Amino acid sequence: MIDVARSKNPIMAGQSDREREIFNSALERATPAERAAYLDGACGEDVEMRSRLAALLGAHDMAGGFLPMDSPTQLSEVVTRTRGNAR
């Protein structure tokens, strides 16, 4: 597993090790409801930290993937077009 927070992720700049650990663990949860429940338990009564982490998780989700492709065929088409334009 890639440690998102340690891979020079600008979203996590300035966060404590504990917050990074909670953020990474929350990312492993499959649904927003599971993430929210995890944050409730992991953050305890630290409402400010929970709010920060919820916002970071939301930003992470909105960022999406680098190359949103449905299939390897689509990726191949993009590469072919890009190569053709570069010539």
Range of the domain at 31: 4-86
Enumerate residues 6+ apart whose C-beta is below 8 A from 29. 35, 37, 38
pLDDT of residue 35: 96
- Chain segment 28-77, per-residue pLDDT in tens: 999 999 999 999 999 999 999 999 999 999 998 888 766 565 656 666 66
Full-model pTM: 0.59
* Separation between Cα atoms, residue 84 and residue 20, nearest integer Å: 42
Give the number of domains in the chain: 1
